[in-house]
Amino acid sequence: MPSSHDLPASADPDPQVIPWLSSPEALEAIDRAEAAGQATVARTAALRKKIGPDRAAAVLSAAAARSKAIDKWGAGPWLVTDRGIQQATDRAIARYKSRRVPAGLEIFDWCCGVGGEAMPLSDRGPLTAIDRDPKIAEMARHNLGVHRDQQAASDNEPVEYRSTVICDDVFAHHPPAAAWLNLDPDRRSESNTSETSRATHCDYLQPPLDDWMPVAKQVAGASIKLAPATQLPEECHELGEREWISHRGSCRQQVLWLGEASPPGTIRATVVTGDDSATSFAVDQLQQCDETDTCEAFAFDLDPAVRAAGLSESYAAAKGLRSLGGPAGFFTAPQSDVDALAQPFEVLWHGVADMKKLRQAVAALDGCVTEVKIRGLDWKPPTIIKKLGRREGRKLTLLASRIGSYCGAILAIRP
């Protein structure tokens, strides 16, 4: 099976579309198409007549994807494809990750995509961003320029590091030993392979692990972006740190960190809550926590990054929490003193997860269930909210999970 650098790159029917996309004429056309909203048959026909079918298709595609770029990166005349921005890292996560890269090092961003991580990395040191798709490389070049313009217009100190975007095979540009390597390998799409397999097995990475790992081990440090469920060989765990990062309520990525600042065997969970704010929990030895079937004054739902990293019990032990029905469920404690990696709920009622008893409890609390969190039960939150019936009252959260030999339910409010 060929590696990614042997596979043909995608191309537009008209190769001149690629450099044209970042021209003032194209950007103005994209601005107009974005402002007009969903393209109609008449507007599409008019645009095709004015600038040609290939350019019109590229403009409409970029305009449709720009709103997603603004959601991830903030305001800007970004240039992206739909798939490119789906795979790109959110600005807040990219900024957090860039701060872990030692300032001043030469940085090589392999498989840079449309530039989500290249932008903040360009503030840390001289940057060489590489992608083998000519359209994607052109978009990354444009987006880096937008980022530089925004930085220059801000109150931040100007950054003088040079940044270069190259369209080529990444393996034609090996970083020197004193450099940093940032890599976002893609997942190969095989017709006879399930989506789950592609997301969890490192065999489906492109470039393959066996190709990039020797390079990552010979540089000053490396950050390898992976899907949260990707399973890596034990060798990787012994070489560096594995970190799971969440943002906006979901675990977005796993990162393999190599280098002096990433002790081998470390497991870390991080929630990024803003451009310059993040909370982490890390261990090098997993711990166990106490278990109970009695809910105390507060219940806790641990952050998706903690759960994805397998750190639920270790985090609970460190914070004085006890598990309700095991590490896959909820946790409890008499106090609510936790950090951003756990969501506390003040317990108002708890008991058996029986619909009749739940309706009675909700009525007695003069509340309505507006949020349902399920662990280990085959319940569908919208159905449960509908079954509980009430539409008025103070907003309650229902936490339901298996506790020992029974299904337990907790009615609570956010403090």
- Do 165 and 247 lie in one domain? The reply is yes
**pLDDT tens across 50-92, in order?**
999 999 999 999 999 999 999 999 999 999 999 999 999 999 9
pLDDT score of 200 more than 70: no
The predicted pLDDT at position 364 comes to 95
Angle at 230 between CA 128 and CA 101, to 5 degrees: 35
User: What is the bridge-based pairing of β-strands 267-274 and 241-247?
Assistant: parallel
What mean pLDDT do residues 175-183 have? 98
Inter-residue contact 142 to 79 (CB < 8 Å): yes
Print burial letters for 198-207: b (CB count within 10 Å at least 16), e (below 16). Answer: bebebebbbb
Q: Is residue 160 part of a domain?
A: yes
Inter-residue contact 304 to 246 (CB < 8 Å): yes
Inter-residue contact 240 to 256 (CB < 8 Å): yes
- Do 261 and 372 lie in one domain? The reply is no
Q: What is the CA radius of gyration of the chain?
A: 25
Tokens standing for 43?
Answer: 């507007």
What mean pLDDT do residues 208-237 have? 95
pLDDT score of 270 more than 90: yes
pLDDT score of 107 more than 70: yes
**pLDDT tens across 291-302, in order?**
998 999 999 999
Given the structure tokens 């079918």, which residue do they identify? 53
The predicted pLDDT at position 202 comes to 83
The predicted pLDDT at position 275 comes to 81
Least confident of 154-163, 170-179, 188-197, 255-264: 188-197
- What is the Cα–Cα distance from 149 to 72, expressed in whole angstroms? 18
pLDDT band at 6 (very low <50, low <70, confident <90, very high): very low
Question: In angstroms, what CA-CA distances link 1 with 7, 171, 207, 232?
Answer: 10, 17, 12, 20
Tokens standing for 374?
Answer: 């399920």
pLDDT band at 244 (very low <50, low <70, confident <90, very high): very high
pLDDT score of 223 more than 90: yes
pLDDT score of 274 more than 80: yes
Distance of CA 43 to the CA centre of its chain: 35
The predicted pLDDT at position 39 comes to 81
**pLDDT tens across 388-403, in order?**
987 889 999 999 999 8
Q: Is residue 18 part of a domain?
A: yes
pLDDT score of 8 more than 90: no
The predicted pLDDT at position 4 comes to 35
- Do 182 and 246 lie in one domain? The reply is yes
pLDDT band at 241 (very low <50, low <70, confident <90, very high): very high
- What is the Cα–Cα distance from 50 to 132, expressed in whole angstroms? 31
**pLDDT tens across 336-391, in order?**
999 999 999 999 999 999 999 999 999 999 999 999 999 989 999 999 999 998 78
Distance of CA 111 to the CA centre of its chain: 17
Picking from 386, 384, 383, the residue whose alpha carbon sits closest to that of residue 398 is 384
What mean pLDDT do residues 263-280 have? 94
Question: In angstroms, what CA-CA distances link 239 with 226, 230, 323?
Answer: 16, 16, 32
Q: Kindly report each contact of residues 209-214 with a partner whose C-beta sits within 8 Å and lies 24 or more positions away, as own/partner.
A: 209/185, 209/233, 211/3, 211/171, 212/110, 212/183, 212/185
pLDDT score of 12 more than 90: no
- Do 396 and 326 lie in one domain? The reply is yes
- What is the Cα–Cα distance from 19 to 248, expressed in whole angstroms? 35
The predicted pLDDT at position 199 comes to 52
Report the number of distinct structural domains present in the chain. Answer: 3
- Do 99 and 46 lie in one domain? The reply is no
Last residue of a domain, one of 82, 109, 138: 82
Last residue of a domain, one of 51, 82, 113: 82
Q: At what angle do helices 24-36 and 53-73 cross, to 10 degrees?
A: 70
At residue 36, what is the residue type? A
The predicted pLDDT at position 158 comes to 65
Q: Is residue 171 part of a domain?
A: yes
* Full domain range(s) for residue 138: 86-283
- Do 271 and 124 lie in one domain? The reply is yes
- What is the Cα–Cα distance from 87 to 59, expressed in whole angstroms? 20
The predicted pLDDT at position 188 comes to 56
> What pairs with residue 267 in β-bridges?
242, 283
pTM: 0.91
Share of the chain above pLDDT 90, in %: 80
pLDDT score of 122 more than 90: yes
**Positive or negative: CA dihedral 39, 45, 51, 55:** positive
pLDDT score of 148 more than 50: yes
- Do 98 and 42 lie in one domain? The reply is no
- Do 102 and 212 lie in one domain? The reply is yes
pLDDT averaged over every residue in the chain: 91
Inter-residue contact 110 to 91 (CB < 8 Å): no
pLDDT score of 255 more than 70: yes
Roughly how many angstroms between the first and final C-alpha of the chain, as a whole number? 54
- Do 115 and 133 lie in one domain? The reply is yes
At residue 18, what is the residue type? I
The predicted pLDDT at position 3 comes to 33
